[in-house]
Amino acid sequence: MTVFTQQNGQLFCEQVALADVQQQYGSPTYVYSRKAITEAFEAYKAGLGNHPGLICYAVKANSNIAVLQVLAELGAGFDIVSQGELERVLAAGGDASKVVFSGVAKRPQEMRRALEVGIHCFNVESRAELEVLAAVAAEEGKVAPVSLRVNPDVDAKTHPYISTGLKENKFGVDIDEAIEHYKWAAAQASLKVVGVDCHIGSQLTEAQPFFDAQARVLNLVDTLAENGIELEHVDMGGGIGVRYENDDTPPNITESVQQMIANLGERKLGLLLEPGRSIVANAGALLTEVIYLKSTEAHNFAIVDAAMNDMIRPALYQAWMEILPVQAAKVAAKEYDVVGPVCETGDFLGKKRTLAIEQGSVLAMLSAGAYGFVMASNYNTRGRAAEVMVDGAQVHLIRERETVESLFAGEHRLG
């Protein structure tokens, strides 16, 4: 059930009118619901039940410290892809022993920091990385827990930019070559082989690709066991989709996790998952004000104060996200292209949207909690948006809007 609801002609998040949020904090502003984040995470926990494992939130989806704090307090683990994300998790109160370190380009200094704080596991993506990690751990006098990310060559049937499980993708090692790498790792005193990792892509709207990939991974687990390498866990990554449009029907989270556990059979393996989008996407909205309405022979344009630098998904992925007025306007509805002020034709939030709006109307772009602010930039020297979190009837400012002065504070004129 969505936490964004219409009440007497106004759009609310939990118990807070979004018009009031925009009035107090301005726009563009990201609004997140604590209740929605909690409910989505709890759906994963319910699926895991008493089975050993971790639900490791993918920090890259939304890395605001308050968001991470909410999840840490719920007992979440965290999936990171940089030292910066690791430091965010720690600053938010996350448990380092519940952190898995993914990513294709970990640097030695990042490995050292992760070893220092005692993370749960490194998800290693290449033989070259495996060799560097072994050397770094040996230098530090530590043993690095490792899981090899394998590429099962399973088509996730999603956008090509967010598909990660095919042989043509840069991620992981070929599943048919993994045994050689596992044998090498198992022979290193500075490495401890603990698992296998797999992530086939994002915004999956059916569960079968997960199960197909898991079947291939479990065949590898059995072959490794025959070679004397016993694993402790299987990490199936993230990728469960969310509803952006009315006809989107993502898999049931709890049931999907339960099926993954059932697929393990008699194997004594823990289950790790790395959800991101499915926890935060529908917990967020982006508020933006209509600055001008402009009509041409071909289009009606609603020119708003949010732009592709604030929300790049429509321009980058051709993503469709619902756009609604936060307050009903007493005007006739028209079809609009909702566009921003950035000097690019690709600067749009939505096209062909039927809206009853006027100059000064405030719009809410829904399902904006994932890959919104985290992918924002300062293109056109635009400050990034404010972020707030709604908790029942309370609103908390969790990131201040950037000022123009802050944008060039680290720059220097020639002497």
> What residues are labeled active site?
343
C-alpha distances (whole Å) from 265 to each of 37, 198, 209, 259 are 31, 18, 18, 10
Q: Quick check: 61 and 372 in contact, CB under 8 A?
A: no
Pick the closest to residue 16 from 393, 391, 398, 396 (CA basis). Answer: 393
Kind plus residue range of the DSSP H or E element containing 317? helix 313-317
Query: How many other β-carbons are positioned within 10 Å of the β-carbon of residue 233?
Result: 21
* DSSP-based three-state secondary structure for 200: coil
* DSSP-based three-state secondary structure for 16: strand
Pick the closest to residue 129 from 97, 171, 162 (CA basis). Answer: 171
Helix ranges restricted to H, 176-305: 178-186, 208-226, 253-263, 277-280
DSSP code string of 236-260: ----B---SSTT--PPPHHHHHHHH
Which DSSP symbol is given to 403? P
What backbone torsions phi and psi does residue 111 show, to the nearest 5 degrees? -60, -40
Kind plus residue range of the DSSP H or E element containing 388? strand 386-391
Query: Which residues lie across from 121 on neighbouring strands?
Result: 100
- The two tokens of residue 253 are 């989270």
Distance from C-alpha of 99 to C-alpha of 114, rounded to nearest angstrom: 9
Distance from C-alpha of 41 to C-alpha of 392, rounded to nearest angstrom: 18
68-101 core/surface letters (b: 16 or more CB in 10 A; e: else): bbbbbeeebbbbbbbbebbebbbebebbbebbbb
